[in-house]
């Protein structure tokens, strides 16, 4: 018996409900044919250029994110619950952002300490008093969920800056449709392919008042060497909008304009995949070549919508994360439908001493880190790693939070020796506009390919799966 | 369309065309070296010169030798115009303008890079050279086929075509620039077997042996070769053909955009000045001067296109 909850098989080896079709199908398939299909899929990914660049490696090394052909299935009932919880959380995040850049009621009410806001790197004083069009701060959110049992879902992280991975959700589905059409005829899987259309519509709905006619949307990328460039090009292509870089843009007559073959054309909504700090060399990092000098001034004057709004990073900061239950309650007046993972803030001396005493059982993360870099996974770390981390933790305790090691659920992958359980997480994608909140039924399932590993990040050897949400 | 995108399309096509031309030059060089027993170094020197990579080569190697020349042109990372470097640049530009390309064109360019990168990890020995060059030509044909078969005929297509034909005109011009003396009507060229080899190698290096025979029959005459490469209207690598295409595509852009920069007029001038004449006029004014002036004016036209359509800031 496994100590982990497996989403496909019950403890007695029988199939769980949502996986009945998949299980039946798998048993009738020939392993060598599946293996050939798996190789075929990787070839398609490589040719299409669905790769990511690895930082710190030789110039522009491009790698594939391994794709596993066994889909991850979520029942209609499970999804409805998740959907309600995600919507509640995303509403609260937007209300929170509006509040902290205006009256800061939540601080006045003593629910979040003032220093958590003012002293936070991700807090942008330039955004104080600014109201983005439609009051939307996080146009696109990716909520990272983990599961520990049939009904136990937790939010591991909110990605409120520039969540990535949605192209994998779409390409994984395309690949599965091409390889196993018969599977889709036998099951009622909800469609995800509307995402680019919904994204464009959602962005256009947030256009500034000065937009004339159909809003001009553009996607800002750091360029072809960025790790997520494929996704930027993919989304721009699918939305039929221009893919721009900083040097394509300049401020002309109070508008941000792109240099076209016919002259400079104003942009109404800029979906930026560039971090806050690089957005505007006049207002932030003066050395940034990725941004547009003066764009923040245009933004503040209502000349352009930036999605996500500058300064949203404070909402996915890991220290703020620990206040999310309070934040949800404060703005919605309801109990949170989705649970947080219990979190110790190491800035608090009592928590710190508990964390230091229990390092080998805990996961410790940097407050501002992402991508699985700079974290300690106590149970799999050796003595040397733990003592090195202990020193770092003591030096800058406020830079860390700690969480218990969760018993992440598993879904089988198709390994060399057949089906083998591996740990997974789930990132659904959420669009926010004045028209409402739209959650694509599906998401990105990341899977730790190494046996026993709990780290699903692609930069650390994780893979992906197609994610199926079933129709009722 | 973004100015940057126009520039990316233009350069993607130039680099792809350059790779294909370099492959053809290498093929010819290799053949010349095999047919002629003496002085293969001189022949390889002339191949390097035609490809515009001789100076770089001599900065790295002391003397011209077959194996080094092939490696330099094929895959040396120090040579920005080696076939491998140029295909990498083409692919980088294709990534830059990914949203302007059809899936078919993008995967053709991407698979070209993947195969070249894989095939050129190590030095390519003489035995494998023909196969490698064939691969390059096939991939170039694949990209061209995908471009013609799947792309909309809009400004995206126009910039792609302009890039192709600027590069191709430049390449044919360079071949003539390096080999012009072979084509001069002097008392010495009496059609010796040496002359025949030289003449055929010129035709071969623009892949025009068959086309020439169809047009001019079996007899290889230097003035007919010059006529064919410079003024023939149907030969897709002649200066006439390439400049006509540049002119046409710039006029499509003019119609599409409702305005034109100086480059549109410059392409008309280029055509009238160099191509609206007879081959005897070319020889009278001096073949070498003619080619050199043409290459200079073509370079200026290319730069004017970059300015007119805002490729760069």
Question: ipTM score here?
Answer: 0.87
Report yes or no: B254 at the A interface, CB cutoff 8 Å.
Answer: no
CA distance B1 to chain A (A): 5
What is the SS3 assignment for chain B? CEHHHHHHHHHHHHHHHHHHHHHHHHHHHHHHHHHCCCCHHHHHHHHHHHCCCHHHHHHHCCCCCHHHHHHHHHCCCCCCCCHHHHHHHHHHHHHHCHHHCCHHHHHHHHHHHHHHHHHCCCCCCHHHHHHHHHHHHHHHHHHHHHHHHHCCCCHHHHHHHHHHHHHHHHHHHHHHHHHHHHHCCCCCCCCCHHHHHHHHHHHHHCCCHHHHHHHHCCCCCHHHHHHHHHCCCCCCCCHHHHHHHHHHHHHHHHHHHCCCCHHHHHHHHHHHHHHCCCHHHHHHHCHHHHHHHHHHHHHHHHHHHHHHCCCCC
Report yes or no: B142 at the A interface, CB cutoff 8 Å.
Answer: no
Q: What is the mean pLDDT of residues A302-308?
A: 97
Q: Is residue B304's pLDDT more than 60?
A: yes
Residues of A in contact with B3 (CB under 8 A): 248, 259-261
For residues B61 and B103, state if they share a domain.
yes
For residues B161 and B93, state if they share a domain.
no
For chain B, the domain total comes to: 2
Residues of A in contact with B257 (CB under 8 A): 261-262
**C-beta atoms of A243 and B98 within 8 A:** yes
**C-beta atoms of B96 and A259 within 8 A:** no
What are the pLDDT digits (tens) for B234-291? 999 999 999 999 999 999 999 999 999 999 999 999 999 999 999 999 999 899 999 9
Which pLDDT score, from 0 to 100, does residue A453 have?
A: 86
Look up the domain containing B133 and give its range: 1-151
What are the pLDDT digits (tens) for B137-173? 999 999 999 999 999 999 999 999 999 999 999 999 9
B33 pLDDT tier (thresholds 50, 70, 90):
confident
For residues B178 and B242, state if they share a domain.
yes
- Name the residue with tokens 């940034």: A288
Report yes or no: B113 at the A interface, CB cutoff 8 Å.
Answer: no
**C-beta atoms of A262 and B257 within 8 A:** yes
For residues B109 and B185, state if they share a domain.
no
What are the pLDDT digits (tens) for A317-341? 888 999 999 999 999 999 999 999 9
Residues of A in contact with B2 (CB under 8 A): 242, 244, 248, 258-261
Spell out the domains of chain A, with CATH numbers in brackets: 17-339+406-469 (no CATH), 342-404 (3.30.1490.270)
**C-beta atoms of B114 and A47 within 8 A:** yes
B186 pLDDT tier (thresholds 50, 70, 90):
low
What is the SS3 assignment for chain A? CCCCCECCECCCCCECHHHHHHHHHHHHCCHHHHHHHHHHHHHHHHHHCCEEECCCCCCCCEEECCEEEEEEEECHHHHHHHHHHHHHHHHHHHHHHHHHCCCCHHHHCCCCCHHHHHCCCCCCHHHCCCCCHHHCCCCEEEEEEEEEECCEEEEEEEECCCCCCHHHHHHHHHHHHHHCHHHHHHCCECCCCCHHHHHHHHHHCCCCCCCCCCCCEEEECCCCCCCCHHHHHHHHHHHCCEEECHHHEEEECCEEEEEECCEEEECCEEEECCCHHHHCCCCCCCCCCCCCCCHHHHHHCCCCEEECCCCHHHHHCHHHHCCHHHHHHHHHCCCCCCEECCCEECCCHHHHHHHHHCHHHEEEEECCCCCCCCCEEHHHCCHHHHHHHHHHHHHCHHHEEEEECCCCCEEEEEECCEEEEEEEEEECEEEEECCEEEECCCCEEEEECCCCCCCCCHHHCEEEEEEEEECC
Residues of A in contact with B118 (CB under 8 A): none
**C-beta atoms of A260 and B310 within 8 A:** yes
Task: Report the mean per-residue pLDDT for chain A.
Answer: 92
Residues of B in contact with A46 (CB under 8 A): 114
Nearest by CB to B99, from A233, A245, A262: name it: A233
For residues B105 and B179, state if they share a domain.
no
Residues of A in contact with B111 (CB under 8 A): 47
Query: What is the percent of chain B with per-residue pLDDT over 90, rounded to a whole number?
Result: 76
Residues of A in contact with B103 (CB under 8 A): 48
Report yes or no: B143 at the A interface, CB cutoff 8 Å.
Answer: no
- Which of B110, B136, B151 terminates a domain? The answer is B151
> Between the ranges A119-133, A287-301, B185-199, B296-310, where is the mean pLDDT highest?
B296-310
Q: Distances from the Cα of B107 to the Cαs of A112, A200, B16, B98, B115, in angstroms?
A: 51, 26, 14, 10, 12
Nearest by CB to A258, from B2, B114, B155: name it: B2
Report yes or no: B1 at the A interface, CB cutoff 8 Å.
Answer: yes
Residues of A with CB under 8 A from a CB of B: 46-49, 224, 229, 233, 236-237, 242-245, 247-248, 258-263
**C-beta atoms of B257 and A260 within 8 A:** no
Say if residues A49 and B112 touch (Cβ distance below 8 Å). no
**C-beta atoms of A259 and B98 within 8 A:** no
Nearest by CB to B2, from A47, A49, A242: name it: A242
Q: Is residue A76's pLDDT more than 50?
A: yes
Residues of A in contact with B259 (CB under 8 A): 262
- Which of B151, B180, B211 terminates a domain? The answer is B151
- Which of B151, B177, B197 terminates a domain? The answer is B151
Nearest by CB to B6, from A47, A49, A261: name it: A261
For residues B244 and B228, state if they share a domain.
yes
Nearest by CB to B99, from A224, A243, A258: name it: A243
Question: For residue A356, what are its two tokens?
Answer: 């230091």
**C-beta atoms of B107 and A258 within 8 A:** no
For residues B173 and B259, state if they share a domain.
yes
Q: Which of residues 10-69 of B touch A (CB under 8 A)?
A: none
For residues B33 and B117, state if they share a domain.
yes
Report yes or no: B209 at the A interface, CB cutoff 8 Å.
Answer: no
For residues B116 and B158, state if they share a domain.
no
For residues B183 and B266, state if they share a domain.
yes
Residues of A in contact with B4 (CB under 8 A): 245, 247-248, 259
**C-beta atoms of A46 and B114 within 8 A:** yes
For residues B18 and B128, state if they share a domain.
yes
What are the pLDDT digits (tens) for B38-53? 677 888 888 898 889 9
Q: What is the mean pLDDT of residues A56-76?
A: 80
For residues B313 and B178, state if they share a domain.
yes
Interface mutation vs chain A, best among B1, B3, B84, B256, most A CBs within 10 Å: B3
How buried is B181 (Cβ within 10 angstroms: 0-12 exposed, 13-18 middle, 19+ buried)? exposed
Which pLDDT score, from 0 to 100, does residue B102 have?
A: 95
- How many A-B residue pairs are in contact by the CB < 8 A criterion? 57
Which pLDDT score, from 0 to 100, does residue B313 have?
A: 84
Which pLDDT score, from 0 to 100, does residue A1 have?
A: 43
């Amino acid at each position: 018996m496994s100590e982990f909850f497996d989403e496909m098989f019950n403890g007695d080896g029988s199939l769980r409900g949502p996986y009945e079709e998949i299980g039946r199908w798998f048993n009738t398939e020939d392993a060598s044919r599946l293996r050939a299909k798996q190789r075929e899929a990787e070839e398609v990914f490589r040719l299409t250029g669905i790769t990511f660049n690895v930082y710190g490696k030789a110039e522009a090394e491009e790698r594939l994110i391994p794709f596993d052909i066994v889909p991850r299935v979520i029942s209609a009932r499970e999804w409805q619950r998740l959907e309600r919880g995600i919507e509640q959380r995303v509403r609260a995040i937007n209300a929170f952002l509006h509040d902290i850049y205006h009256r800061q009621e939540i601080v006045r009410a003593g629910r979040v300490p003032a220093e958590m806001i003012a002293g936070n790197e991700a807090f942008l004083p330039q955004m104080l008093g600014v109201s983005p069009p439609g009051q939307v701060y996080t146009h696109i959110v990716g909520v990272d969920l983990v599961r520990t049992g049939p009904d136990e879902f937790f939010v591991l992280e909110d990605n409120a800056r520039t969540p990535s991975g949605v192209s994998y959700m779409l390409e994984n589905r395309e690949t599965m449709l091409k390889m196993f059409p018969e599977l889709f005829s036998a099951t009622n899987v909800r469609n995800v392919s509307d995402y680019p259309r919904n994204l464009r519509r959602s962005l256009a709905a947030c256009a500034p008042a000065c937009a004339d006619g159909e809003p001009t949307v553009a996607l800002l990328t750091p360029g072809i060497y960025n790790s997520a460039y494929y996704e930027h090009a993919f989304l721009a292509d699918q939305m039929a909008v221009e893919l721009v870089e900083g040097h394509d843009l300049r401020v002309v007559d109070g508008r941000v304009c792109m240099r076209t073959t016919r002259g400079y054309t104003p942009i109404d909504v800029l979906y930026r995949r560039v971090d806050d700090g690089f957005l505007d060399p006049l207002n932030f990092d003066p050395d940034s070549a990725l941004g547009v000098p003066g764009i923040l001034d245009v933004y503040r004057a209502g000349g352009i919508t930036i999605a996500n709004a500058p300064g949203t990073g404070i909402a996915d900061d890991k220290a703020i994360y620990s206040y999310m239950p309070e934040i949800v309650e404060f703005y919605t007046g309801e109990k949170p439908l989705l649970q947080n993972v219990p979190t110790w803030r190491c800035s608090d001396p009592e928590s710190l001493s508990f964390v230091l005493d229990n390092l080998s059982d805990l996961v410790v993360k940097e407050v501002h880190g992402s991508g699985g870099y700079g974290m300690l996974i106590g149970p799999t770390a050796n003595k040397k790693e733990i003592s090195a981390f202990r020193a770092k933790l003591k030096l800058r305790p406020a830079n860390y939070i700690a969480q218990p090691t969760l018993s992440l659920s598993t879904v089988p992958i198709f390994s060399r020796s057949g089906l083998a359980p591996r740990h997974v997480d789930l990132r659904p994608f959420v669009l926010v506009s004045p028209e409402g909140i739209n959650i694509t039924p599906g998401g990105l399932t990341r899977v730790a390919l190494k046996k026993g590993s709990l780290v699903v990040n692609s930069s650390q050897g994780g893979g992906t799966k197609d994610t199926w949400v079933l129709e009722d | 369309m973004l100015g940057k995108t126009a520039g990316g399309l233009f350069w993607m096509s130039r680099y792809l065309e350059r790779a294909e031309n370099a492959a053809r030059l290498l093929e010819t060089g290799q053949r010349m070296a095999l047919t002629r027993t003496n002085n293969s170094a001189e022949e390889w020197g002339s191949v390097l010169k035609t490809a515009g990579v001789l100076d770089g080569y001599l900065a790295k190697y002391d003397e011209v030798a077959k194996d080094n020349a092939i490696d330099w042109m094929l895959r040396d990372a120090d040579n920005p115009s080696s076939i491998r470097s140029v295909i990498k640049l083409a692919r980088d530009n294709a990534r830059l303008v990914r949203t302007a390309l059809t899936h078919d064109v993008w995967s053709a360019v991407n698979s070209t890079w993947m195969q070249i990168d894989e095939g050129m990890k190590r030095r390519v020995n003489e035995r494998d050279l023909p196969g490698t060059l064939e691969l390059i030509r096939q991939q170039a044909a694949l990209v061209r086929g995908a471009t013609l078969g799947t792309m909309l005929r809009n400004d995206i297509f126009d910039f792609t075509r302009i890039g192709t034909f600027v590069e191709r005109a430049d390449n044919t011009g360079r071949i003539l620039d390096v080999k012009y003396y072979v084509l001069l009507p002097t008392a010495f060229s009496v059609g010796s077997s040496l002359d025949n080899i030289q003449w055929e190698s010129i035709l071969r290096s623009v892949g025009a042996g068959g086309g020439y025979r169809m047009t001019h029959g079996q007899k290889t005459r230097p003035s007919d070769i010059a006529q064919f490469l410079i003024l023939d209207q149907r030969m897709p690598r002649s200066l006439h053909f390439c400049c006509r295409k540049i002119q046409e595509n710039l006029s499509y852009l003019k119609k599409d955009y409702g305005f034109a920069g100086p480059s549109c007029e410059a392409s008309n001038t280029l055509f009238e000045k160099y191509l609206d004449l007879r081959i005897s006029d070319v020889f009278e004014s001096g073949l070498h001067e003619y080619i050199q002036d043409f290459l200079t004016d073509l370079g200026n036209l290319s730069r004017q296109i970059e300015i007119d359509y805002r490729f760069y800031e």
